Amino acid sequence: MISVNDLRTGITIEVDGELYTVVEFLHVKPGKGAAFVRTKLKNLETGAVFERNFRAGERVNRAHIETKEMQYLYSSGDEYFFMDTSTYEQISLSRDLLGDAVFFLKDNMMIHVQFHKERAIGVELPTFVELEVTHTEPGFKGDTATGATKPATLETGLVVQVPLFVEQGDKVRIDTRTKEYLSRV
């Protein structure tokens, strides 16, 4: 058990038998009354985000999350298959569980899968991925001084804004946290 005063963004806790990740937290000390901690919690099962206040010093259960490095193999419909490279055990995760991570998965890519009580609850992507541009309109010559961008479709189906000099077939580096173009590879 940990005190709510020790909560930080990204910590996974158990409240009322459900798993939540702390999205935001704020320690509040009003002029009158006792201090409290205002949090935004994301339910790992449903993805719903809600606010909850805790009294200062209140204790909550910290969820023990195990992380395994696994290799992404393939997808079939809304199921995505991963393999533990040490035991060759395969698991499938649903598109709902993966969320936006599906836009960054490439065959044979190594990612970290998070488990709680031997049940997969999410994935941790690398910070940057390199993806190929499959479709984009050509840029116009002389229009580069304005810092203009254009939409580009990547090999995973993700559409991002890229500079005008990026062409179809180029490999680009994308930040998985913000879904933004960083550089050409």
The DSSP H or E segment spanning 96 is: helix 95-98
Q: pLDDT tens, 15-54?
A: 888 888 888 999 999 888 889 999 999 888 777 888 999 9
Residues in the chain: 185
Please, what is the Cα angle at 152 between 147 and 157, to 5 degrees?
Answer: 150
Task: Give yes or no: residues 6 and 58 share one domain.
Answer: yes
Q: Which domain holds residue 118?
A: 66-124
Rounded Cα distance between 168 and 184, Å, is 12
Task: Give yes or no: residues 44 and 93 share one domain.
Answer: no
Asked which of 43, 62, 81 is the last residue of a domain, the reply is: 62
The CB-side HSE value for 42 (13 A sphere, CA atoms) comes to 13
Q: What is the mean pLDDT of residues 139-145?
A: 62
- Of the listed ranges 29-33, 63-67, 141-145, 178-182, the one predicted with least confidence: 141-145
Task: Give yes or no: residues 81 and 96 share one domain.
Answer: yes
Rounded Cα distance between 54 and 62, Å, is 15
Whether 73 shows a pLDDT value over 90: the answer reads yes
Residues pairing with 153 in the sheet: 135, 159
The domain total for the chain is: 3
Task: Give yes or no: residues 138 and 180 share one domain.
Answer: yes
- Of the listed ranges 15-19, 66-70, 168-172, the one predicted with least confidence: 15-19
Asked which of 82, 107, 124 is the last residue of a domain, the reply is: 124
Asked which of 16, 45, 62 is the last residue of a domain, the reply is: 62
pTM: 0.73
